[in-house]
Structure formats: structure tokens, C-alpha cells
Structure 1
Amino acid sequence: ILQFNLVCDRVYLDTLANTLFFAGIFIGSAIVGPMSDWFGRKVAIIVFCLCLVSTGVGCAFAPTYEIFVVTRVLTAIFGIPCFIIQFTYVTEISGIEWRTQAGLLVNMGSALSHAILPGVAYALREWRGIQLYVGASPAIFLLFVYFIPESPRWLLANKKYNQAKAVIGRFAKSKGKVIESRKSEEKAAKKLGVWDLFRFPAMRVICLDILFIWFTISMVFYGLTLNGGSLAGDPYLNTALNGLVEVGAYLVLYFSGKFGRKPMLSGSFILGGLSCISSMLCDYFSNGDTDLLNASTALAIIGKFFASLGFALVYQVTSELFPIEARTTAVSMGSMSARVGSMLSPLTLQLQKSVPWATQTIFGTLSVLAGFTTLFFPETNKAEYLRSLPDAE
């Protein structure tokens, strides 16, 4: 703040930097699909990781605000593809019975990093050192690239049968099994565009709801994350707790198969929204009362727990609502809507300075409303996938 003189008439530049960062995530979400599909999971993540390390380290040495913002936006553009590709990769190489658990491990890694970072910040204190630590950390992945094979599903989809056979054989050998070669009679799934999802009335309603819940959960999730350091109490502890509750949320998600996707998705949105509204009420009527301020902080962290659970569930439910021919397109569509919500979250937080009750009220109201709209979704837990979009009718 002081180094770049972000005070007085330049204070808005702090919010602008966060908004542009999320704009970078929006761009990264748009380019990761084609890059990963054209060049393969392994090649794409190596390229993005190299770019991420370069821009992340460069950001730590930015001499001016303008260069800081540019390098930070570039880290967002290159960072989100690394997460999306690794999530896709681990689910593609996992068996059906382990696919959910594999995806959860990726999410838990992200949550644990979030929980550890406040400790690093407390030890280093200076932002350039923290940024250097964050920017250089992904380089560790590059040490293991040689041992990571390409996704066999991607190889098969792109008719690289010999390479796919070698990778599958390597996996089978580790289990003491032998894979017999045989021709696949499955036809390649037809690739659809976003507008194809809106051609059928029933799917049109689902798509509009998908856009709304992704937008809402992203705004609430990132809004509560960015606001963690502004809550009553120690900012380092609050930020660490925000990361730890994500771990707890992902552990709860493991049991979604027992209770069903729809009640857990709807419940996470509604309970998260009520937590945000309750947090606002405690803060608004606290009048300096320590107990009410602490209650407000606790309720905000509980809201983050349900937002984390909801975010993980929207990925899973969206992929289960659509047939294979439209699944990737549907998730990409939802992700793009989510980035719009995340770009607006820093601007929404600015309202706290003039209208203290507005931010949490917006988060809570949207979340509760989104929770009720998810009740119109069909239950997808242990349900057969749709074979085509017309089947939804």
C-alpha cells in the first residue's frame, strides 16, 4: 500500500488490482480447455507452470504499481489452468470408485496451502518476500514432471493408441496385472457448443440455474476469503481458519454419496447464506461488544465452510447433470459465470466502508436464493448419466 502510494485518491487502485486479478482468472479459464485438449494435459500444465513461476517471481520484484498489476494478472491467467488441468488429470487416471476422492485431494491441497500461507506471511511480514515464496513454490512440481505420464484417456481420445497402451500397461504392471489389447467400438462423442445447451426447454432452465449458482458461489466464496483479514480478531488466525474450514468442507463432501447431492448442495447454499446474514446482524448491533464481534467472526467463518462445500458440489453436480457430449462445455460455461462473480466480489467488499451491512447481506441473500433454486435439479447421486441432451426432456 505505502510502496505504491495507494492512499487518499489512489486507494481505489487496491480494489482495482483484485478485480483485474479475477479478470485474469476469467481469461485463464477460457484458454485452458483448448490448450489442454490440443496439446495434452502434461504439455499444457508444464507450459502453464513455467509461465506461472516466471510471472509469480517477477511480481515480487515489480518496481511500480502498473508492473505489479500486469504480472499479478499474468499469474492469474497462468495459475488457474494449472489447477483445472491437475483436477482433470487426477480424475482421468482414477477409477470410477476413486474419482471423487482423487478430486477431493486436489481441493484439499489448495485448502492446506491457504491455511499455511498466513504462517508464512506472519514469519516474513514483507509482501515481496511472501510473493517470492508463493511465486517460486510451483517450481517444485517441475521436479517431478519426468515421472508423470500423459493422461491415457486423452491419448485414446486423440488416437495415440501405442502411447496409451504403454501408459495403461505401466499402471497395470504396478498392480500385477496384464492388459489385453482390443479395439474399441465406442463412437466419439459429438462436441457441442454453449448455445446447444439451451436448445431444449428442460436443459435451458437447468443451464440458467447453473449460471446463477456458479456466479453466486464464486462471489460469496472469494468475497469471504478476501474479507478474512478484515474480521474482528487476529487477521493471520482468521485467514488460517478460512483455509482450514475448506479442508473440513471437503471431508464432509466425501459423504455426499450417502445423503444425496441435491440436499447437500441446497443446504450448503442456504445455511451459508444464513450464516452471512447472521454475521452481519451480530456486527451491526455489536456497538463494540466483544462477544458479538467474536460471534460475527465465527459466523463468517462458518459461512466460508458452507461456501467451500457448495463450490466443490457445483463442480460435481454440473458434470453429473449433463451427458458426455456436453459435460465439458457445461462446466466451462459455469466456470466462466463464476469468474464474473469473483470479479465483482472485491467491488462488493468496498460497500462495507459506506454501508457496513450491505456486503454480507448481498452474499447471504444471493446464497439463500440460489439454494432454493437448486431444489429444481434432479437428484444425480448414483443416477445414470444422460445419453444425450434430448433425454432430459
Structure 2
Amino acid sequence: MKFDDVLNEIGGFGRFQKTLYIWICLPQILLAFHMFVSIFTSAVPPHLCLSTWPPPAGQEPSFNFSQVELSCSAEGSAQAYSSNSSTRAVSEGLGVGGCQGGWEYSKEIFHSTVVTEWDLVCENATLNNIGSSIYMFGLLVGAALFGTLSDKYGRRTIILVGLALQVVFGVGAAFAPTFSIYILLRFVVGTTISAVIMNAFVLGTEWTGPKHRMLAGIITDYFFGFGYILLAGVAYLIRDWRHLQLAISAPGFLFIFYIWLLPKSARWLMANQKNEEALDLIRKAALVNGNPLRDDIDLQQDHKSAKTVKNQRKHTVIDLVRTPKMRRQSLIVFYLWFVNVLVYYGLSLNISDFGINIYLTQFIFGLVEMPARTITLFTLNRSRQISQLAFLTVGGLACLLTIFIPDDLSIIRTALAMVGKFGITASLSIIYVYSAEIFPTVVRQSGIGMGSMCARAGGVIAPIIYLLKRYSPQAPMVVFGLCPLVGAALTMLLPETANKALPDTIEEVEGSIQRCVDVSFSSFNPSHTMVVRN
């Protein structure tokens, strides 16, 4: 019997699969913590340059931060302006060489951050953005590295390794003695994020029947969103960056019990000629689901599928851009992956720019992800193309409109940014399904893999975009607004795939072969894709 036939017999989403999803969803909460903790640990509180002129003996320097505005010139030097005579001495020691007397930071919101500990302001502010990009680059490296290793050693093994490395290096980051070591440890944590997210998704889909795979994938997104929301409360209670980093990392030690509870992928075992072990797992799953497997069941690989896989290996990434129509569609899809992740993280990691309480903004931005992911369940079945176009347009226009809102109307700016986040989150959920249906079977895995790489590139660039603020405060939001609108326009050049047969060959995409058969979204194998989850 084929594996999908066996799943139908034992239950494609029974008690066994539901329990499995509990195990793979719980880590999603900590993954969201690690993804967005830099919003708080790398925050830049109000700060002043201390004068080289010392304060009176025994008196600590104290300034009213609300009365002083600090800016950094394009050359990296600091300039302070004061309307209060008691703080005029602040500007002493400032010049081309930067702040000579050290920095004083407000502790009204944050007790400490990596910025306050290592003075990552003015001429050193770029290091903070670069550090965020290096972390995002870790996700790209992790997707490529652990995607390959999971095919060789199995999904369960890589999940366990990823969780172990995550907790060790996450806790280590809380005790980092220097900024460079901190960034190195965070880079490793970034690689483990991809390892766990990608393989947890694959492990779940490989145990789930075709009818429930899309819904099951959405479940993990909801837990990630819950972690996004919960982080606001944790960060509000813990204002010291080292304690916060430790608080989000140490609970990972609890996942040690996964060694005994997390099952292997029976589908992966079959693909690696371990049918006996796969059959034992399937029998256990069948008993948990209350549908005992018949004794005469014989698990065998589908020779037709094996032959198809063998034929697929003759195709390469070059085939994605070798022919005109395939090239146009591939490049558009790659851009959509890139722009969705660019704007998603661009908005998520810089919520302090919208002018209201950072903890409240984090809570709202996390909360808006829930309806954004839910609405796609209703729009996707009607039209992939229109859904993608509409949500990109909503996200882009909302971001652009924020640049026309004055600073004193911070609530309106935050509301527009929230609408932008809603549109981009929904669009990001759609592009995974849409691209899987656009690429033909012979290059589908390669296409989604390349799309994932482009998405991670967007994540790397997102923090760097905010360096444009030194030239214009509105520049980042202009970029985050225009890029999705360009993507919306390009989406009109893509075909509609809702309720359509999936193409199997490049010739079908080019129009030289016509097909009239029904095929489901589940016909592609998720085990070889480099999944981009939030």
C-alpha cells in the first residue's frame, strides 16, 4: 500500500496526529520569542552625551530626557540641543569624534539593552542594524544546512539537535561578554530557528492525511502568533536585556523529554528503505487512533512515484529560468517571496518608530496576525491571484500612508502600520500555497527552495533598510510601501491556480501541452522544500 492509503486507513488526523501537533507547536512559542526579542533587547532608549566637565563631587549626573533632543549627523558625530539651561553642558564633548564623555541613558522604559551596555548609538548605531542582519542571515544558513541534513538523518533528529543548540546558545547569549560574541551566539540561534520550524512543519505534514495538511500547517502559525503576543508581556515584566534573554531561552531545557515522545517520520523511513521500522510506527499510530492496522498490510514504495522522482533529478534550478514563460513566472514568484518577508520583518522589528508604547504595539502587532492568517482560509479557495494582489496592495498602501501622518498623531500611524502588517501577514501566508501551484512538478521543489532563499534574503536586508533614516525619516516606510505595490502589479502577470490542475512539466507551463485532470495541493512532497515560516 502507498503511505497515503495507509494514513487514510489508520486516520489522517486522528488522536496520534493531534498529539504530534501539540509537540511540534509548543516550540513555536519560544521560536517567536527568539525571532522578535531583539525589539526589546536591542532597543535604543533616549540618551545624552555626558560632558567631559565633571559634575559636583558626590553628585550623579541626572538629566531630564524629555527636554533634550539628540541627533546624529551623517558623519556619525553627535549633536545635542537643549531648551533647559541645566542640561546645556550635555553638548560639551560632542564633535566629529563623537561623544567623548560617555553616554547617559534613560531607564524609564528599559533598565538595560545591548545598546546601553555597548553604546551602540550615533557612530556605532550601524552595528546594531548589522547585528540584526547577521541574525537573519543565520536563518538563511540554517534553512540550507538543516534542510539537507534532515533528508539524510531524519526530521526528528534535526528537531532535537536544533532545540538543543537553541537553548545552549540562547542561554549563552545572555552571558556574552562582548557585542561580537553576542552576535555570533545569536547567529547560531538563528540557524536553529530554521531547523526547528522547517522540520516541525515537514514532520507534521508527513504524518497528516492530504485533506488536513493545509489546516494543520495553519495551526503551527497560530502558536507562533501566540508567542508573538506573549513576548510583549514577558518583556514588560523583565526590563533587563540579559534577564530577558535568559527567560526566553532557559525554558528550552524542558524539551529534553522530546527524546522519548517525538516520533520519527514513517514516510521518511520508507524513503530510506527502513520499512520495518516505519511499519512499527504506523501500527502504534493506528492503535492510538483506535484503528488497528490489518496484519496483511505490506508497505511498499510506489514504483511510479520512485520513477517520477528519478526523472525529476534530471531537472535543475536552471530550468526555472530557461524558457520565457517559466522565467517570467519564476522571477515574479521569487520577488514576491522576497518582498513579503522584507516588509514583514521590516515592520515587526521596528515597532518603536510608531510613537506609542512599545509593549502595547508589540501586543497589537501579534494580535493582528491571528485574523490575517484566518482570512486566507476563506479567500484562497476563490482566487489565489486576486488574494495575493489584494493583500499586497493593502499592505503597501498602508505603509505609504504612514509617511503623511505627523508625529503627534502616533495612534493613527500605529493603526496604519497595523493594517500594513495585516496585509503583509496574509500575503505571506498565501505565497507559499500559490508558488507551490505555479511551479510544475518537475521543478516544484527547486522553485520553492529558491523562493525560500529569496525570502531569507529579504529578512537579512530588512534591518539594513532602517539605516536610510539618517538621510530621511520617511525613507524606510517608502520602501516598505512601494515594494509590495510593485509586487501587486507583477502578480497580475501570474496565472490563476485556484481549482486548476497543477502543471507537471515545463512544457505545460509554456502552453505546448494541455491537461484536463484534477489534482490536489497535496501532490507535491513537502519533505524537500525549504519552508519559510514566520
Report the TM range for the smaller structure's normalisation.
Answer: over 0.9
Per the TM alignment, residue 182 of structure 1 is displaced from its structure 2 partner at its CA by: 5.1
Q: What letter is aligned with 1:365?
A: L
The answer to whether the aligner puts 1:297 opposite 2:420 as a matched pair is no
Per the TM alignment, residue 129 of structure 1 is displaced from its structure 2 partner at its CA by: 1.3
CA separation of 1:383 and 1:133: change in aligned 2, threshold 3 A: farther
**Identity level (%):** 30
CA separation of 1:212 and 1:358: change in aligned 2, threshold 3 A: same
Distance 1:341 1:69 in 2: 19
Q: Identify the match of residue 329 of structure 2 among 206, 209, 215.
A: 206
Partner of 1:113: 227
Distance 2:467 2:160 in 1: 37
Partner of 2:46: none
Match of 1:187, SS state, is helix
Per the TM alignment, residue 173 of structure 1 is displaced from its structure 2 partner at its CA by: 2.6
Distance 1:317 1:138 in 2: 34
Distance 2:252 2:445 in 1: 26
Structure 1 contact 100–254 (Cα < 8 Å) conserved: no
Q: Identify the match of residue 187 of structure 1 among 294, 299, 305.
A: 305
- What is the correspondence of 1:48-67 to structure 2 with a 5 Å cutoff? 48-67=162-181
Partner of 1:146: 260
Worse-matched range after superposition: 226-235 or 160-169: 160-169
Partner of 2:360: 237
Match of 1:150, SS state, is coil
- CA deviations on 1:307-364 (whole Å, 9 max, x unpaired) are 1111111112122222444322222101111121111111111223430221111111
Q: Identify the match of residue 391 of structure 1 among 499, 502, 508.
A: 508
Distance 2:383 2:213 in 1: 17
Q: What letter is aligned with 2:402?
A: S
Structure number with the higher helix fraction is 1
Q: Identify the match of residue 277 of structure 1 among 400, 403, 407.
A: 400
The answer to whether the aligner puts 1:340 opposite 2:457 as a matched pair is yes
Distance 2:250 2:170 in 1: 7
Structure 2 contact 160–258 (Cα < 8 Å) conserved: no
Match of 2:495, SS state, is coil
Q: Identify the match of residue 86 of structure 1 among 193, 200, 210.
A: 200
The answer to whether the aligner puts 1:71 opposite 2:189 as a matched pair is no
Distance 1:207 1:81 in 2: 25
Q: What letter is aligned with 1:220?
A: V
Distance 1:32 1:358 in 2: 36
Per the TM alignment, residue 238 of structure 1 is displaced from its structure 2 partner at its CA by: 0.3
Structure 2 contact 398–420 (Cα < 8 Å) conserved: yes
Per the TM alignment, residue 236 of structure 1 is displaced from its structure 2 partner at its CA by: 0.5
Q: Identify the match of residue 136 of structure 2 among 18, 22, 26.
A: 22
Match of 1:11, SS state, is helix
Structure 1 contact 229–239 (Cα < 8 Å) conserved: no
The answer to whether the aligner puts 1:355 opposite 2:472 as a matched pair is yes
Structure 2 contact 275–299 (Cα < 8 Å) conserved: no
Q: What letter is aligned with 1:348?
A: I
- CA deviations on 1:199-233 (whole Å, 9 max, x unpaired) are 33222111111111111111100000011122111
- CA deviations on 1:281-306 (whole Å, 9 max, x unpaired) are 22xxx2x443xx21111000110111
- CA deviations on 1:23-55 (whole Å, 9 max, x unpaired) are 111211211221111111011111121111111
Q: What letter is aligned with 1:86?
A: A
Structure 1 contact 323–388 (Cα < 8 Å) conserved: yes
CA separation of 1:182 and 1:289: change in aligned 2, threshold 3 A: closer
Structure 2 contact 380–430 (Cα < 8 Å) conserved: no
Distance 2:474 2:489 in 1: 23
Distance 1:369 1:94 in 2: 37
Distance 1:327 1:155 in 2: 22
Structure 1 contact 29–332 (Cα < 8 Å) conserved: no
Partner of 2:83: none
Worse-matched range after superposition: 37-46 or 323-332: 323-332
Kindly report structure 1 stretches of 4+ aligned residues shifted beyond 3 Å: 137-142
Distance 2:150 2:442 in 1: 17
Q: Identify the match of residue 254 of structure 1 among 377, 382, 388.
A: 377
Q: Identify the match of residue 228 of structure 1 among 337, 351, 372.
A: 351
Partner of 2:125: 11
Structure 1 contact 272–302 (Cα < 8 Å) conserved: yes
Per the TM alignment, residue 131 of structure 1 is displaced from its structure 2 partner at its CA by: 0.9
CA separation of 1:60 and 1:165: change in aligned 2, threshold 3 A: same
Distance 2:243 2:501 in 1: 50
- CA deviations on 1:97-124 (whole Å, 9 max, x unpaired) are 1111111111111111111101101101
RMSD over equivalenced CA pairs, Å: 1.7
Structure 2 contact 166–192 (Cα < 8 Å) conserved: yes
Partner of 2:109: none
- What is the correspondence of 1:93-112 to structure 2 with a 5 Å cutoff? 93-112=207-226
The answer to whether the aligner puts 1:263 opposite 2:386 as a matched pair is yes
Partner of 2:243: 129
Instruction: With the length of structure 2 as denominator, give the TM-score of the two structures.
Output: 0.70
Partner of 2:86: none
Distance 2:285 2:506 in 1: 34
- CA deviations on 1:252-275 (whole Å, 9 max, x unpaired) are 122234322221111111111011
Match of 2:336, SS state, is helix
Q: What letter is aligned with 1:44?
A: I
Structure 1 contact 56–75 (Cα < 8 Å) conserved: yes
Worse-matched range after superposition: 317-326 or 265-274: 317-326
Number of residue pairs matched by the alignment = 387
Structure 1 contact 276–303 (Cα < 8 Å) conserved: yes
